[in-house]
Structure 1
């Protein structure tokens, strides 16, 4: 038995649910969903790439003047909160409101959040704007991703290629947004840059409305409706955490210094609760429980991957700003632009990966192998920064840093579509949106851990920081790949 044969997962066909209208062999609604996600990522990354700078730049430079360690912790926690909110968005779409409707109103919330950031100054604008964006992204991102899975039958070999094309839209938005906001921030200020992110989200909303009526029937129904008799309890459960957070903030128990630690604990508890719920659900069949267990190594691998990738917005955001010579000839590039180029590289690589997987068909590497290889590429990128250690000041070559950005991109495109596809394929039929939310918890944990890890970075010991991170990442990824192989073989 070959490696590929060993990881095949038996599934029942769902061809009756797949849309009939196609474009270049893929469902036409893939264009709607990928386009919506492109513009949402345009606005999201357009903000995220300059958020840490806004927090720690001095008041005279247009920032808020926070301590650097606090700024990277808050930036990481913001990303973590974004993905924790996926649980709420997934639950609403699974139990209360159809996914396509949740996405529509969530897009409006995101647009409002970016407008608040652009128009309201100081800490008040940051707090209100980020809360709106967190709430909106929680409803949009998880459900758009889940709806992509609804476009394909479980045994459709186009699935990986479809997710790669979908991720190409994500990568393009993740590149274009920060390019524009980075240039605007360095030339005319932060608030006009935030305004550009708002325009991007407006385009995303328009894109979604244009294809809204053509989304497949599965997006218009609530998979597991909550009885109306339980709605009051659901509202109470939703209000209780918000009230607890408000009390913690006003009492001082939750503050900028410990928010990353608190959020990490919340993510761990939420992850364990989600796995327990999926495994114990009466609507989860025995064979599906085996698939959920097989997903655990993939879940942990994804957590490791996002911890590494989100260093781009924490440790490496500071690194590029303070340790890299950004002048090429007579041109000085914005620090945000260098981080953004990772998204450009990913955009270029995504269709090449999709073409490769399509041509290989059932001979392509299994998802676990793709994820391990991708994490190894990110570890190699971290090793590049270890090689650069030893200099002082902003003297390191931007060209070498771009090599590291390319390795980040190559790893990202290897990992993310594979994890997304495995998440959809291994999900119980009655809990697809919730399984997708479980995947987004790896992004929440990765972003928060990236903020915590960034707080240990010190230019004086950066060789140890980068080399240990690279080595540990490869070893852990190898162990998790072995666990995935064993678990999948048992399912088979």
Structure 2
């Protein structure tokens, strides 16, 4: 089998199965980021303009908690794949749920369709994403030197899909440039394009998967027996009952509304990683050295949460700035506010080769905590940068050059190069043996916690509070980054032999 894998070079020198997974993930990211590019506007645009007519603060809060839920549910997909369905089936089911989520949004069914879509896409994304990556690794033997290049191509596919969708989906919502919908936006046409993208991804995955993916991917790695399944089912029932009781009490007190549910999810997203840290530090399965490494990880986790709170603001606060405060043309070239969402994946694709070369050749480069500290300061500066238009012009009522947003995203993605890939790497290194898979979930919980905090603070963003908002949030990141600088050596010492 290993020899056969090495001989398969039909996809640019890589196994043909990589093409199957490359395009599956590309189309999934196309659908997800295309939907996110227009979802905020769909929620708060007036009904007469094709939207749902929500107030802006609620719409922004929903966007943030949506992102938080995606990462909060991260452990589901890996468990179902490993213990019940196998990765190939889990990915397919996830893709189907995602497609139906976009179909729900494509129907003019109001907030009911919106919330149904969120549930479907959150679950579907967590089923699909971790298992696609696992199957990429399964294409190569441990000795196959093409593995890193294969993952690099796979990541390029992710960012390529994410980069083109904020152009294509808003274009569809705007009538394909043909003014088909008059002065209104037909958001449902845009969501339909996202659903079609996911359909194409599923179609090629189903057909190609039979030919080019390993039969091993059809089966779980560690199938669960009936005896082990019973307590899982029991605890799931307990969790559902507890949730139902909480929601029932909220209803009885007249507090069962979207804002209260957002608050509940925020509490869970912040509490869950705290519980995980307590479990690891008190577990008898974790050695003294491993506990020291877990302690070292805590400030890095907090730094990551602050970073993601700002980075993920691109589809919320910066999207509002694009719509309300930005000149949406350069000369005779006109564009939509949603098109700015392409900058994130675009800059990642541009900057990644540079930083790969830098980390490969810089002999005395900073340690992981040092990179985190620098990344926090830089991401904070991306928000301070956004306060400058209001400070320079002395008002936040007019429109400013789109290059302010371009500059902010560029600065932010430099910070991402210092934190995101480094964070994934250091998480695997600091993970206790008994909590290895859970520790990877912790990395994604940092993103979830950051976006949960965002769900609370974005309510305070308006053009009137623009300067204060950017300076305060950016200032928090900068101050924490500077403080982290003074503890780099101490954190590195706690890492106990991990570079």
Q: State the TM-score, normalized to the length of structure 1.
A: 0.84
Residue 485 of structure 1 corresponds to 492
**Alignment counterpart, residue 267 of structure 1, candidates 245, 266, 269:** 269
**Partner secondary structure for residue 64 of structure 1:** coil
Q: Which moved more, 1:175-184 or 1:136-145?
A: 136-145
Match of 1:340 among 334, 339, 342: 342
For residues 326 and 462 of structure 1, the distance between their equivalents in structure 2, rounded to whole angstroms, comes to 19
Flag the 1:272–1:159 CA change in 2: closer, same or farther, 3 A: farther
**CA shift for structure 1 position 345:** 2.1
| Cα deviation digits, residues 324-372 of structure 1 (max 9, x gap) | 1213334432111123223222222223333443x42876554434433
Structure-2 residue corresponding to 1:200: 197
Write the deviation string for residues 71-113 of structure 1: whole angstroms up to 9, x where unpaired.
1111111111111111222333344443443223212211121
Match of 2:304 among 302, 309, 325: 302
| Residues 420, 450 of structure 1: alpha-carbon distance in 2 compared, 3 angstrom cutoff | same
1:287–1:491 contact (8 Å) kept in structure 2: no
Larger radius of gyration: 2
Which deviates more from structure 2 when the two are superposed, residues 24-33 or residues 381-390? Answer: 24-33
Alignment partner, residue 375 of structure 1: 376
After alignment, is 84-93 or 48-57 more displaced? 84-93
Select the residue among 61, 65, 69 that pairs with 1:73: 61
Instruction: Give the match for residue 231 of structure 1.
Output: 229
Q: Aligned partners of 2:137, 2:377: CA distance in 1, in Å?
A: 27
Report the Cα offset of residue 254 of structure 1.
3.9
Deviates more, 1:401-410 or 1:128-137: 401-410
Distance in 2 (alpha carbons) for counterparts of 1:100 and 1:485: 39
Task: Please name the residue that 1:353 is paired with.
Answer: 355
1:414 maps to 418
Equivalent position SS for 2:460: coil
2:24 paired residue number: 36
- The within-5 A match list for 1:37-186 is 37-145=25-133, 165-186=153-174
Name the CA distance, whole Å, in 1 between partners of 2:481 and 2:429.
Answer: 21
Quickly say closer, same or farther: Cα 1:361–1:327, change in 2 above 3 A: closer
**Aligned-residue offset at 1:320:** 1.3
Shift of 1:37: 2.7
Change (3 A) 1:350 1:306: same
Give me the whole-angstrom Cα distance separating, in 2, the residues matched to 1:20 and 1:361: 31
Instruction: Report if the CA contact (8 A) 2:377-2:479 is conserved.
Output: no
CA contact (8 A) 1:165 1:354 kept: no
Matched, 1:386 2:387: yes
TM-superposed CA distance for 1:488, in Å, is 2.1
In 2, are the aligned partners of 1:224 and 1:430 still within 8 Å (CA)? no
Consecutive unaligned residues in structure 1, runs of 5 or more: 1-15
Residue 376 (structure 1) shift: 2.9
Which deviates more from structure 2 when the two are superposed, residues 216-225 or residues 450-459? Answer: 216-225
Q: What residue is the counterpart of 2:178 in the other structure? A: none
Q: CA deviation at 1:31?
A: 5.3
Q: Which moved more, 1:405-414 or 1:316-325?
A: 405-414
**1:401 has 2:405 as partner:** yes
Q: C-alpha separation between the residues in 1 aligned to 2:434 and 2:220?
A: 10
Judge conservation of contact 1:149–1:424 (CA < 8 Å) in 2.
no
Distance change in 2, residues 1:391/1:304 (3 Å): same
Match of 1:191 in 2: 188
Aligned to 1:444, the other structure's residue is in SS state: helix
Contact residue 249 and residue 255 of structure 1 kept, 8 A: no
Partner of 1:11: none
Say if 1:314 and 1:450, in contact at 8 Å, map to a contact too: no
Deviations 1:369-423 (A, max 9, x none): 4433333332221111111113233411112221112222332233222222333
Q: Secondary structure at the match of 2:258?
A: coil
Q: Does 110-119 or 66-75 show the bigger shift?
A: 110-119
1:236-278 CA-partner distances (Å, limit 9, x unpaired): 3224444554555562544222333221210122212333445
Contact 1:90/1:434 (8 A) holds in 2: no
Q: CA deviation at 1:67?
A: 0.8
In 2, Cα distance between equivalents of 1:291 and 1:221: 34
Q: Is the 8 A contact 1:345 1:406 kept in 2?
A: yes
1:171-198, CA deviations, whole angstroms, 9 ceiling, x for partnerless residues?
A: 2222112211122223351111111111
Aligned mates of 2:107, 2:13 — CA distance in 1: 44
Q: Is the alpha carbon distance of 1:156 and 1:72 closer, same or farther for their aligned partners in structure 2, counting shifts above 3 Å? A: farther
Alignment of 1:204-219 (within 5 A): 204-209=201-206, 210-211=208-209
* Number of the residue aligned with 1:449: 453
